[in-house]
Structure 1
């Protein structure tokens, strides 16, 4: 039991005498103070895990600098990977973002106002079906209702929207016509 206590006592001494020099080392090399704190914490975690392999007290600081150097290198690599991933995601999002169909029509304010007058569930059923391209069974899964409820709500929402915006606002194939068209029969 005393070996565990000796191990903990040694670690405490190593930590107390090396924390500030390691923090200063990390602060000079990390972009953010929070990153430096993470590097020091990770360095001492490695020291704790490898405590029995730590060199003698005269060499321990140099060993800790070496550990901190590797932790910093990993931190920088992780940061670069995160930046590259972020850039790839931003490019994909830019490529995947399509214009809101309601914004492509001159009557978009009328459509938005009409949509706002629908109940929240009817509006969600309609937009998930039309703008997101989901089938009624898929919409049912998203909303946690039965497909029959979705089909009924969709039919009513389209009819109500047609009443609110008028039947003759859109030529065939126009977004308004698609939004207000009767629901197609879903394949079983």
Structure 2
């Protein structure tokens, strides 16, 4: 490329830029949510025009050509935005899943429950944990502990109330105790 043709290309580009910048910016502003995005679209459009200067039509047709380029740049911009939004949503969902599955978030509650369980009598603690955590029915707990099912039901009721009193002040509003403590006792088959 000779110096003369390089200068001709620059001069023509400057003229095309000066006469088409405002209309292209208005075009982009009407189609973008953010002014910064519109500015990026116009900048990208003129970058394409600079790189493909040899393809630019005559001055009478150049504005239409630039609108076509801007339209394709906008389409790419919108597709990129949609991909970014979908990726962001997937990332936010993943973070919610990780946070929900994070056992560290339950540590203070687990420690409070363990401390409260330790303050229960041995039989009450065993009745409660066998029923709630192991999922045994009162008659099964009775068999394990070698007591009557009536004793188990009485102890279970008392143990839940006592445990609720021990942990509810530290963990949550009155009446709320961890799910692990309020899980319904399995119904005894009759």
- Provide the TM-score with structure 2 as the length reference: 0.54
Q: In structure 1, what is the equivalent of residue 84 of structure 2?
A: 82
Instruction: State the Cα RMSD in Å.
Output: 1.6
**Runs of at least 4 residues off by over 4 Å:** none
Name the CA distance, whole Å, in 1 between partners of 2:65 and 2:13.
14
Q: Is the counterpart of residue 34 in structure 1 residue 36 in structure 2?
A: yes
Secondary structure at the aligned position of 2:57 is classed as coil
How much does 1:92 deviate?
1.0
How much does 1:50 deviate?
0.1
Alignment map for 1:88-167 (pairs within 5 Å): 88-97=90-99, 98-100=102-104, 101-106=106-111
Q: Which has the larger radius of gyration?
A: 2
Secondary structure at the aligned position of 1:57 is classed as coil
Name the CA distance, whole Å, in 2 between partners of 1:26 and 1:8.
24
How much does 1:99 deviate?
4.5
Q: In structure 2, what is the equivalent of residue 14 of structure 1?
A: 16
Name the CA distance, whole Å, in 2 between partners of 1:42 and 1:5.
22
Q: In structure 2, what is the equivalent of residue 71 of structure 1?
A: 73
Equivalent residue pairs, number: 108
Name the CA distance, whole Å, in 2 between partners of 1:69 and 1:8.
24
Aligned residue among 51, 54, 57 for 2:53: 51
Alignment map for 1:165-180 (pairs within 5 Å): none
Unaligned stretches of 5+ residues in structure 1:
108-188
CA-to-aligned-CA distance 1:64-111 (integer Å, 9 cap, x gap): 00000000000000001111111111111111111425433456xxxx
Name the CA distance, whole Å, in 1 between partners of 2:46 and 2:103.
51
Name the CA distance, whole Å, in 1 between partners of 2:108 and 2:10.
66
Name the CA distance, whole Å, in 2 between partners of 1:20 and 1:72.
16
- Provide the TM-score with structure 1 as the length reference: 0.55
Name the CA distance, whole Å, in 2 between partners of 1:70 and 1:37.
15
